[in-house]
Structure 1
């Protein structure tokens, strides 16, 4: 998690820093649907490499946005879900989805 000194002064910049890249938003889109395993996320997010997915999951976990649960089984089983903090971003993602839908309807159809 970022320290207070590392956070931008602007609240919008803070939000963008935490969820503002393309991949983080798409990961959140998938986790809003429910808990997913790594391969489920990888298949659902078109164009993301395993390396980039791993890096973003680690960063989101460190920032408290997602929860990683590892099961002590062979082969390893790991699941990802939104934390309470991550789920609190649901209205933002929903608003982005609504805006994108309206944009497509009004400008591309």
Structure 2
């Protein structure tokens, strides 16, 4: 278990969730993986603002925290698939709620003159 998660365990369950899911693009990656296994480059296309280094780091952290698995297939060219674990699939209701809230917030903001 990563140190930030261990520390969060001493504070509050909300902090544990933030520690596991609070990285750049993590929830977006989980959202896309809820649709099924994805390859690294496919995830990169789905999250075009994420650079390769950040994408790799976030996927590794999600794997270390038991949210997804990484499967390397023995073939040429190499193929790596990512898919959610049962723990990761358990995030589906949370991700859906956050997606819906974000869509509503975006629509509300776009309807105003706010910067």
The answer to whether the superposition gives a TM-score over 0.5 is: yes
Shifted more, 96-105 versus 9-18: the winner is: 96-105
- Counterpart secondary structure, 2:18: helix
**Which ranges in structure 1 are unaligned for 5 or more consecutive residues?**
none
Q: How do 1:13-92 residues align onto structure 2 when only pairs under 5 Å count?
A: 13-92=15-94
TM-score by length of 1: 0.90
1:106 aligns with 2:108: yes
Q: How do 1:1-16 residues align onto structure 2 when only pairs under 5 Å count?
A: 1-2=1-2, 6-8=6-8, 9-16=11-18
Kindly provide the CA deviation profile for residues 35-72 of structure 1, in whole angstroms up to 9, marking residues without a partner as x.
10000001110211111111111111011000111111
- Counterpart secondary structure, 2:25: helix
Match of 1:93 in 2: 95
TM-score by length of 2: 0.85
Contact 2:23 2:58 in 1 (8 A): no
How many residues are treated as equivalent by the alignment? 108
Runs (4+) off by over 6 Å: none
**Which ranges in structure 2 are unaligned for 5 or more consecutive residues?**
none
